């Protein structure tokens, strides 16, 4: 029996032996039972902290992305709205060719038309004009009944890309049987070096006036 | 001795009976709470373990619940044969190993020769002891008694001879009653007579004699007792500084004689009245109370402490002590192992739970797509930055080019002018510059007519301000008025410019 074997030893040695056995047992249990759990728990804690940081970064990026997406959409809408007022070079030429027929179409009589504008070149690069945008000025004098002049102004107002009417003057004299002599100064914003590809892209955002007819 | 212990169980086991006493100490000194006595079968000189165990269990049942406490301490007073008690005078030069010296002296006793002994010793007298009380008995007999007690649930802490236990109880009562700390006590057992003399509370003489086989009648027994008494007297008379002996008290433990029959015979044989004969168990206070063994009470007082006779010998065998020590050690080790295993078990239960909870949290995060979509989000954010930058580059010149330009609703304005003009007012010219101001000129029949036109134009809601800026009467025949109205167009959205 173990007790018999222990008899020759002193109490202190017996206690030390038992304590050593218990200590060894506890260490062995820790090594084989608890240590894997502890190691796994430590690894999970480290991984958990990384996951938390990634999740926080994900939330931050997600919020920033949502704000940027809203900004991007507002910029797209603003660009589409602004491009309604800008002609391509081809479109501007087409508008110029179709302007006089448009006047006659509504029943007005063309009195004078100056595509060079009043005292300025037809297409000029103004000093304060932004890069890539040219201004095209057209002076137009037409004679017609008030309804015909209104129709002309309506057609010009509905045209897309927009035609900017800088000045408008109407004169009614007795000698013209109630007709109105209308003098208009038109301004067209033309995008420089716009290509067909750009035209195709812009066709998705700009609405061309339904009554504008290309000049053959 | 631990003073906090106030109750102890004393056992007196002889070859003829077993007595137990439950003793408690308090402010008024020790008192016996309960006591019981049982005789062992006659004619059986040995103490059989089974019989003693049954008797002990019965006695404990008589004592009641107070004697069954798990922490009750117990002391055992035994009178076995052979049992040797000797007073040893220490040599002038103190032996280096006192234990070996005492063991050597005890091994010379004839009754114990060749036996496995259990022995103990203690100093006699106050101060530095010059005499030792050495006690020895057969180890197997003592071990047998301790086992019997253990089998009955009694944990015996001390085993001592009956004489010191009886003397402890007697002297404690005698000192309190008569302020006398001297006594001569003779314990008469079935086979031996043990005589002890206490003077000034100190054991001064002890002697163990075997009963003669032919002293079976009271007369012969008393004659032998008187002879022994006279021998002690002669010893003290020849001893230097001996002095008179204290009164003698013969305690009958043999179970075959009664004190009331033996006392007159012994007085006649000894020729003196200073000898008192008593039974081992003294009757209680009333007739209903059981007899109390003074030996058992003395054994319990030895555990409780505070007695005038400070003799402390303990014959608990070393094997029993070692067995108890081993048991305590094993119990302690088992408890430590259980605690360790319990701790490991709890930790092994807690750790997977903690890991599982953390794993579930990570899994939840993964299911929410926060782990594998972060990189795509980063790429998308970078793409959005590029797109926003490109769009801003595209939009900026457009904003600059179209800044301040507004679309004037000319058909509506012309229609409003025609509708606003009364019948006696004609519009001959209108002119607009920069899309802000509109100047209307014409002829009116009168100023109120021109004012009417102004009010009508204001009522149209197209203009921010309408102001009649000039009126001039014409010099021709009709006498009409030339007027001029300045209008400030509302900005797009209906706001003022």
**CATH node for B7-316:** 3.30.420.380
DSSP structure class, residue B3: T
Task: For residue B441, list chain A residues with Cβ-Cβ distance below 8 A.
Answer: none
Q: Is the pLDDT of residue A71 over 90?
A: yes
- Would A210 be classed as within a structural domain? no
- What CATH class is the domain B410-489? alpha beta
Residues A192, A100 share a domain: yes
Average pLDDT, rounded, for chain A = 79
- Same-domain check for residues A102 and A188: yes
How many Cβ atoms sit within 10 Å of the Cβ of residue A108? 23
Phi/psi at B46 (5° precision) = -90, 155
On whether residue A31 sits in a domain, the answer given is yes
- Which of the listed residues A58, A82, A106 is the one where a domain comes to its end? A82
Is there a domain that residue A113 lies in?
yes
Cβ atoms of B19 and B9 within 8 Å: the answer is no
Is A214 part of any domain?
no
Examine the domain organization and report whether A70 and A166 are in the same domain: no
B410: nearest CA partner in chain A: A153
Q: Å from A78 to nearest chain B CA?
A: 7
Q: In whole angstroms, what is the distance from residue B340 CA to residue B346 CA?
A: 10
- pLDDT of A5 reads 47
- Does B329 contact A15 at a Cβ distance shorter than 8 Å? yes
* Residue A122 Cα distances to B3, B108, B156, angstroms: 125, 150, 130
What confidence tens digit (pLDDT) does each residue in A9-23 have?
677 887 888 889 889
Please identify, among A82, A102, A118, the residue that sits at the C-terminal boundary of a domain. Answer: A82
* Mean pLDDT value of segment A168-195: 82
Q: What is the DSSP letter of B411?
A: H
Residue A71 shares a structural domain with residue A116 = no
Cβ–Cβ of A58/B374 closer than 8 Å? Answer: yes
Measured CA to CA in angstroms, residue B168 lies from B35, B75, B208 at distances of 17, 13, 18
CB pair distance less than 8 Å for B336 and A83: no
Residues 6+ positions from B430 with CB-CB distance below 8 Å:
A168, A169, A170, B414, B417, B438, B439, B440, B441
Residue of B347, B359, B409 lying closest to A157 (CB–CB): B409
Same domain? A70 vs A167: no
| Rounded distance between C-alpha atoms, residue B449 and residue B425, angstroms | 6
- C-alpha separations of B196 from B245, B246, B274, B336, B388 in Å: 11, 11, 15, 49, 118
Are residues A25 and A96 located together in one domain of the fold? no
Give this prediction's pTM.
0.56
The residue to which tokens 């519009």 are assigned: B427
DSSP B43-108: T--S--HHHHHHHHHHHHHHH-GGGG-TT-EEEEEE--SSEEEEEEEPPSSPPS-HHHHHHHHHHT
| Angstrom distance (rounded) from CA B23 to CA B95 | 39
Q: Is B411 in contact with A150 (Cβ distance < 8 A)?
A: yes
Domains in chain A, number: 2
The H-assigned helical ranges of chain A are 2-6, 11-29, 35-83, 89-105, 146-158, 196-203
**Domain presence at residue A211:** no
Tokens 């959205």 belong to residue: B493
Residues of chain B with CATH 3.30.1360.100: 410-489
Residues A74, A99, single domain; the answer is no
**What SS3 class is residue B253?**
coil
Which CATH number fits the domain that encloses residue A122?
A: 3.30.70.60
Which residues of chain A have a CB within 8 Å of the CB of B395? 75, 78-79, 82
Which of A82, A117, A135 finishes a domain? A82
**Are A145 and A180 within one domain?**
yes
Backbone φ and ψ for B247, nearest 5 degrees, come out as: -60, 145
Interface test mutation site (partner B, options A20, A39, A72, A159, max chain B beta carbons within 10 A) = A72
Residue B484 with chain A: CB contacts under 8 Å: none
Per DSSP bridges, beta strands B275-279 and B248-252 are parallel
| Same domain membership, residue A185 and residue A104 | yes
Angle in degrees, CA B364, B365, B366, rounded to 5: 90
Residue B395 φ then ψ, to 5°: -75, -30
State which residue of chain B sits closest to A38, comparing Cα positions.
B351
Q: For chain B (length 497 residues), average pLDDT per consecutive 10?
A: 68 85 82 84 55 76 68 83 84 79 79 79 78 88 85 86 89 71 85 87 86 84 89 82 76 81 84 81 67 88 75 85 84 90 90 91 85 87 94 89 81 88 89 83 90 91 90 78 91 50
In angstroms, what separates the C-alpha of B421 from chain A's closest C-alpha?
Answer: 14
Q: Both ends of chain B: CA-CA distance in Å?
A: 111
**Given an 8 Å threshold on Cβ–Cβ distance, is B410 in contact with A168?**
yes
Under 8 Å between Cβ of A106 and A152:
yes
Contact residues, chain A, for B371 at CB < 8 Å:
51, 54-55, 58
Test mutation, A172, A194, A207, chain B, max B CBs within 10 A? A172
Distance CA B55, CA B254 (A): 18
**A70 is a domain residue:** yes
Is B210 in a helix, a strand, or coil? strand
d(CA A180, CA A172): 5
The per-residue pLDDT for range A94-132, each reduced to its tens digit, is: 999 999 999 999 999 999 998 875 444 445 545 556 777
For B110, which DSSP code?
Answer: G
Token pair, residue A102, equals: 């448009």
Judgement on whether residues A98 and A53 belong to the same structural domain of the protein: no
- Name the residue facing B387 among A72, A150, A164 (closest C-beta): A72
Query: Any bridge partners for residue A133, and if so which?
Result: A191
The answer to whether B67 touches B22, Cβ cutoff 8 Å, is yes
d(CA B259, CA B275): 12
Q: Are A77 and A159 part of one and the same domain?
A: no
Instruction: Indicate if A199 and A104 belong to the same structural domain.
Output: yes
Q: What is the dihedral of CA B395, B396, B401, B402, to 10 degrees?
A: 60
Expressed as residue numbers, the domain containing A45 is: 2-82
- Non-local (6+) Cβ contacts of B204 within 8 A are B197, B198
Q: Given an 8 Å threshold on Cβ–Cβ distance, is B418 in contact with A146?
A: yes
| Cα–Cα distance list, B492 to A194, B232, B404, B405, B434 (Å) | 29, 145, 10, 10, 14
A37 Cβ partners below 8 Å, 6+ apart? B347, B348, B351, B352, B355
Say what the pLDDT of residue B118 is.
86
Average pLDDT of the segment spanning A45-65: 91
């Amino acid at each position: 029996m173990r007790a018999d074997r222990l008899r020759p030893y002193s109490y202190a040695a017996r206690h030390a032996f038992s304590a050593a056995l218990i200590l060894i047992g506890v260490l062995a249990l820790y090594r084989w039972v608890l240590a894997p759990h502890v190691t796994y728990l430590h690894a999970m804690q480290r991984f958990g902290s990384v996951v938390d940081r990634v999740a926080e970064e994900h939330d931050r990026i997600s919020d920033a992305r949502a704000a940027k997406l809203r900004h991007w959409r507002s910029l797209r809408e603003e660009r589409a709205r602004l491009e309604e007022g800008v002609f391509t070079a081809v479109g501007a030429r087409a508008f110029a060719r179709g302007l006089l027929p448009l006047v006659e179409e509504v029943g007005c009589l063309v009195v004078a038309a100056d595509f060079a504008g009043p005292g300025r070149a037809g297409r000029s690069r103004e000093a304060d004009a932004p890069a890539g945008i040219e201004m095209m000025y057209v002076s137009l004098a037409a004679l017609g009944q008030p309804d015909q002049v209104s129709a002309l102004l309506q057609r010009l107002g509905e045209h897309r890309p927009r035609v900017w009417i800088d000045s408008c003057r109407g004169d009614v004299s007795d000698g013209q049987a109630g007709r109105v002599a209308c003098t208009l100064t038109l301004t067209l914003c033309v995008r420089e070096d716009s290509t067909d590809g750009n035209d195709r892209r812009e066709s998705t955002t700009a609405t061309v006036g339904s009554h504008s007819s290309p000049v053959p | 001795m631990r003073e906090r212990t106030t109750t102890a169980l004393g056992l007196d086991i002889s070859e003829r009976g077993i007595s137990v006493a439950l003793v408690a100490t308090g402010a008024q000194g020790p008192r016996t709470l309960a006591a019981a006595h049982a005789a062992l079968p006659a004619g059986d000189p040995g103490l059989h373990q089974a019989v003693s165990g049954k008797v002990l269990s019965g006695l404990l049942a008589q004592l009641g619940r107070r004697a069954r406490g798990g922490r009750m301490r117990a002391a055992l007073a035994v009178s076995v044969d052979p049992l040797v008690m000797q007073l040893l005078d220490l040599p002038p030069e103190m032996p280096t190993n006192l234990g070996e010296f005492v063991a050597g002296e005890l091994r010379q006793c004839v009754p114990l020769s060749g036996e496995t002994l259990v022995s103990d010793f203690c100093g006699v007298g106050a101060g530095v002891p010059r005499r030792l009380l050495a006690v020895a008995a057969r180890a197997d007999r003592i071990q047998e008694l301790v086992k019997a007690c253990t089998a009955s649930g009694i944990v015996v802490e001390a085993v001592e001879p009956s004489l010191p236990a009886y003397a402890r109880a007697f002297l404690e009562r005698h000192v309190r009653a008569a302020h006398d700390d001297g006594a001569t006590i003779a314990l008469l057992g079935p086979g031996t007579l043990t005589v002890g003399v206490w003077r000034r509370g100190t054991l001064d003489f002890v002697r163990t004699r075997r009963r003669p086989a032919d002293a079976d009648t009271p007369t012969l027994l008393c004659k032998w007792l008187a002879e022994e008494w006279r021998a002690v007297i002669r010893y003290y008379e020849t001893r230097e500084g001996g002095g008179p002996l204290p009164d003698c008290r013969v305690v009958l433990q043999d179970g075959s004689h009664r004190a009331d029959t033996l006392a007159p015979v012994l007085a006649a044989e000894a020729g003196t009245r200073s000898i008192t004969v008593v039974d081992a168990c003294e009757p209680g206070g009333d007739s209903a109370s059981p007899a109390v063994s003074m030996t058992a009470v003395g054994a319990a007082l030895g555990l409780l402490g505070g007695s005038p006779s400070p003799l402390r010998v303990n014959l608990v065998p070393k094997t029993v002590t070692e067995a108890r020590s081993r048991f305590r050690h094993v119990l302690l080790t088992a408890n430590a192992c259980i605690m360790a295993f319990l701790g490991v078990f709890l930790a092994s239960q807690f750790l997977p739970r903690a890991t599982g909870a953390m794993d579930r949290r990570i899994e939840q995060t993964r299911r929410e797509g926060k782990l594998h979509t972060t990189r795509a989000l980063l790429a998308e954010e970078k793409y959005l930055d590029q797109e926003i930058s490109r769009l801003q580059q595209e939009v900026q010149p457009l904003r600059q080019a179209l800044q301040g330009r507004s679309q004037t609703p000319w058909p509506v304005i012309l229609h409003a002018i025609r509708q606003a003009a009364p019948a006696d007012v004609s519009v001959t010219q209108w002119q607009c510059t920069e899309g802000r101001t509109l100047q209307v000129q014409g002829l009116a029949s009168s100023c109120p007519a021109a004012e009417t036109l102004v009010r009508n134009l204001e009522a149209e809601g197209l203009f921010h301000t309408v102001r009649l800026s000039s009126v001039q009467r014409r010099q021709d025949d009709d006498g009409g008025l030339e007027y001029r109205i300045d209008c400030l167009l509302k900005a797009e959205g209906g706001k003022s410019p």
